[in-house]
């Protein structure tokens, strides 16, 4: 395993536990892609068709007419040349030209994985976990250096890619497009998998066949967005959860992105991922460099399930950081859907006291505790306590909740400002805006301009003062609108199109400073629910509020889709009241609890209003989850039945040692006089005996996998769970 370089043939071979990624320098100039898939020996390059002239395509060598870049599978293609497919980079030079010609210059093999300054990325804790290949391409005329970083993880079938552009010329240049990865496939015989959605309907699974032209997902909203997640996969025809080839791509970034596939004239497929070039450019002065975010690539020959578990292991072990990477997450109650803005200290304490008696470990005070905030029309940016609601302040409330034996958490929305706020009246130019244009409001708020250092400093200081004033052990960090009228009063005219990316760099700086100075606070990110559920945010905050939609039926699809790339330990999932506040649906407390247990478990309702019998069910749910959460949050997830394919959904979790299993089966609508439904388990030891904890019955692993257990679900919105232990 590691990185092999064959100097004579100029072949690079990256190896992970089960995969190979191979490149070759063609004609001494061009970095060509040869292979990505199951682990193999370094192949005979005569067997790789790297050169060919396509009709009506230009060649780069007038002496050799049999060669065209429009055919070559390239690693980092440029535009305005003889390759007419989508380029990975576009540059505007001072003379007005855009013809960037990159050729191979040099390479370096590095033990471990270098960090990216100012950007989130996966990491290796020591040099034994990964190897990194740095390949340098050069435009010798314009003196532009492009550094391509490839990291191969030794024990995971993961290759990460990122790009650095260095201007070594004497003049300035403008980057108009920078992608982080490009993979050219010889065939387009794949399905395109993506996770589209909307607010309250995030990350639904969509699968379509590749076709000629471009299929893409992207965000131009200033956030990774509810509408498209920065994830895509290419799957061979017939691939399912347990078999078939699949190539997964995920972008470690929280802002505007693009990802897609172009099928060309001879049915080859070019997959790409990186920064969205919509309203983007970056002025690079002589001697300056630009770092693009990281892209994660996962190959599996064993279907979607194996791909997902690889992503899960990578993100749990090599993306999430700090104390809470390995700690179990507390069971919480959030007051938002229980009270909204209408609460007093007495009301909050009543809910907290009831929660403590049921075994809940953390109380989270949501929106409405600061400024004069009694609705969503004011006070964002004024991070001082509303003493009319909380006479004892945050510190007093936290102390009283701690006396119940509970931790205390708090909601913030630091990236926003209300026009009706002291902050806006003092600094009206601190929001994103264009002079003379309307400042469009959404949810009665504007977006603070985090491309400005003074704005970032204000947020760090304001949030830190609150966190340091009381025993706050959890923060929900929200962001409830997207960017409009992109402009910054802090940037010169020629750098205005840098604003959206500079915002993200400013946000990451803010998060790094706050999180690193408060290592004992558990941070959860949120953006109107799941509007910024991405690997970039998980680098700073180990979990994300999965969706504002808390309906159990809707959550089946949302959590199933999210699990394609993101581990269960990152998903906030709560039991809410019925009728549900988003779907107006009435589901059983059992089903709501069983769905929420497949994540970081909590409640979002007024516990004081529940009947006694439901409170007892909740007490039992909390007891059960505390027994399960260690391996639910850190074990392997197996998806067994998809909500996108029928009336039933099923999944299971297995501890890493294989000794503990939790499985859940859900029925949405009642079936009159149904046939037999069975829960068929997977990934068990066929020769081992497993005991069902609830009733003591015992079964061999092969019986559970091949015959399964009969499921008795009668009525709408029903669920059934099993806890098994390997005997």
In a domain, 153, yes or no: yes
Is residue 367 part of the annotated active site? The answer reads no
Return the pLDDT at 678: 94
Q: One of 70, 157, 264, 548 is an active-site residue; which one?
A: 548
If phi over 0 gives left and psi between -120 and 50 gives alpha, with beta otherwise, what is residue 664? beta
Task: For 518-545, give the secondary structure using H, E and C.
Answer: CCCCEEEECECCECCCCHHHHCCCCEEE
Query: Which whole-number Å values give the CA distances from 82 to 58, 77, 237, in the listed order?
Result: 6, 10, 32
Boundary of a domain, candidates 283, 298, 316: 316
Return the pLDDT at 715: 92
Crossing angle of helices 453-469/393-403, nearest 10°?
40
CATH code of the domain covering residue 658: 2.60.40.1180
Q: List, in sequence order, every residue forming a beta bridge with 365; answer none if it has no partner.
A: 410
What whole-number distance in Å separates Cα of residue 271 and Cα of residue 248?
Answer: 10
In a domain, 291, yes or no: yes
Return the pLDDT at 668: 96
Q: Which residues contact 10 (CB under 8 A, 6 or more apart)?
A: 24, 25, 28, 104
In a domain, 149, yes or no: yes
In a domain, 643, yes or no: no
Cβ–Cβ under 8 Å, residues 258 and 227:
no
678-679/709-710 β-pairing: antiparallel
Taking 50 as the pLDDT cut, the residues of the chain under it are none
Q: How many domains in the chain?
A: 2
522-525/474-477 β-pairing: parallel
Return the pLDDT at 67: 77
Return the pLDDT at 505: 98
Cβ–Cβ under 8 Å, residues 77 and 68:
no
Task: Find the domain containing 663 and state its range.
Answer: 648-726
Task: Locate 80 and state its tokens.
Answer: 């305005």
Q: 302: closest CA among 244, 387, 369? A: 244
Return the pLDDT at 55: 77
In a domain, 116, yes or no: yes
Task: Locate 246 and state its tokens.
Answer: 């699949």
Q: One of 478, 534, 636, 660 is an active-site residue; which one?
A: 478
Is residue 548 part of the annotated active site? The answer reads yes
Return the pLDDT at 82: 86
Boundary of a domain, candidates 316, 343, 374: 316
In a domain, 15, yes or no: yes
Boundary of a domain, candidates 255, 288, 316: 316
Return the pLDDT at 50: 74
The DSSP line for 479-495 is: ------S---TTS-GGG
In a domain, 378, yes or no: no
In a domain, 714, yes or no: yes
Query: Which whole-number Å values give the CA distances from 492 to 177, 179, 348, 438, 487, in the listed order?
Result: 20, 25, 48, 20, 10
CATH code of the domain covering residue 303: 2.70.98.60
What whole-number distance in Å separates Cα of residue 273 and Cα of residue 231?
Answer: 9
């Amino acid at each position: 395993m590691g990185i092999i370089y064959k100097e004579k043939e100029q072949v690079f071979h990256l190896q992970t536990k089960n995969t190979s990624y191979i490149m070759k320098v063609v004609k001494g100039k061009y970095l060509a892609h040869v292979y990505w898939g199951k682990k193999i020996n370094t192949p005979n390059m005569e067997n790789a068709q790297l050169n060919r002239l396509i009709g009506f395509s230009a060649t780069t060598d007038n002496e050799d007419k049999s060669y065209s870049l429009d055919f070559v599978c390239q690693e980092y293609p440029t535009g305005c040349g003889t390759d007419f497919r989508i380029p990975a980079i576009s540059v505007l030079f001072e003379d007005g030209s855009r013809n960037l010609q990159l050729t191979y210059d040099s390479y370096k093999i590095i033990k471990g994985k270098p960090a990216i300054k100012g950007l989130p990325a996966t990491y290796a804790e020591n040099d034994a976990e990964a190897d990194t290949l740095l390949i340098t391409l050069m435009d010798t005329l314009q003196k532009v250096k492009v550094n391509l970083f490839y990291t191969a993880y030794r024990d995971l079938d993961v290759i990460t890619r990122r790009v650095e552009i260095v201007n070594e010329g004497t003049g300035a240049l403008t980057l108009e497009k920078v992608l982080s990865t490009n993979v050219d496939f010889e065939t387009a015989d794949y399905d395109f998998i993506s996770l589209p959605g909307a607010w309250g309907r995030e990350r639904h699974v969509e699968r379509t066949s590749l076709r000629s032209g471009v299929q893409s997902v992207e965000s131009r909203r200033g956030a990774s967005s509810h509408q498209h997640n920065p994830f895509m996969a290419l799957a061979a025809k017939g691939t399912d959860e347990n078999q078939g080839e699949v190539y997964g791509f995920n972008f470690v970034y929280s802002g505007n992105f693009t990802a897609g596939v172009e099928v060309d004239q001879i049915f080859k497929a070019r997959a790409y991922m990186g920064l969205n070039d919509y309203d983007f450019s970056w002025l690079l002065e002589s001697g300056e460099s630009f770092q693009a975010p990281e892209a994660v690539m996962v190959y599996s020959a064993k279907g979607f399930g194996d791909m997902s578990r690889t992503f899960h292991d990578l993100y749990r072990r090599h993306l999430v950081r700090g104390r809470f990477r390995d700690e179990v997450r507390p069971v919480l109650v959030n007051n938002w859907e229980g009270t909204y803005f209408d609460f007093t200290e007495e009301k909050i304490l009543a809910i907290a006291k009831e929660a403590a008696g049921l075994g809940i470990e953390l109380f989270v005070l949501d929106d409405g505790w600061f400024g004069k905030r009694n609705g969503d029309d004011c006070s964002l940016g004024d991070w001082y306590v509303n003493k009319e609601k909380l006479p004892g302040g945050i510190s007093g409330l936290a102390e009283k909740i701690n006396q119940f034996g509970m931790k205390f958490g708090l909601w913030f929305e630091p990236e926003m400002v209300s026009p009706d706020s002291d902050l806006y009246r003092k600094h009206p130019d601190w929001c994103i805006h264009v002079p003379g244009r309307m400042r469009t409001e959404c949810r009665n708020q504007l977006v603070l301009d985090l491309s400005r250092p003074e704005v970032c400093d204000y947020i760090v200081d304001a949030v830190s003062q609150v966190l340091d004033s009381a025993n706050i052990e959890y923060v929900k960090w929200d962001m409830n609108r997207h960017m409009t009228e992109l402009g910054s009063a802090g940037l010169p005219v020629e750098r205005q199109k840098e604003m959206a990316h500079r915002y993200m760099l400013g946000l990451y700086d803010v998060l790094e400073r706050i999180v690193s100075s408060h290592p004992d606070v558990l941070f959860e990110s949120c953006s109107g629910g799941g509007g910024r559920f991405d690997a970039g945010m998980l680098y700073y905050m180990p979990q994300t509020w999965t969706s504002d939609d808390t309906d159990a039926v809707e959550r089946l699809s949302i959590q199933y889709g999210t699990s394609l790339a993101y581990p269960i330990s990152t998903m906030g999932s709560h039991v809410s009241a019925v009728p549900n506040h988003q779907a107006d649906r009435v589901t059983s407390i059992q089903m709501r609890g069983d769905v929420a247990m497949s994540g970081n478990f909590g409640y979002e309702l007024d516990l004081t209003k529940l009947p006694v019998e439901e409170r007892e069910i909740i007490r039992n749910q909390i007891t059960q989850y505390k027994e399960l959460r260690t391996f639910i949050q850190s074990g392997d997830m197996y998806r067994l039945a998809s909500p996108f394919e029928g009336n039933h959904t099923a999944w299971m979790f297995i501890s890493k040692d294989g000794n503990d299993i939790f499985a859940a089966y859900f029925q949405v609508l009642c079936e009159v006089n149904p046939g037999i439904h069975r829960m068929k388990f997977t990934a068990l030891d066929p020769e081992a005996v497993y005991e069902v904890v609830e009733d003591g019955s015992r079964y061999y692993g092969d019986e559970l996998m091949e015959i399964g257990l009969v499921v008795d679900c009668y009525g709408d919105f029903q669920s059934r769970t099993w806890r098994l232990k390997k005997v």
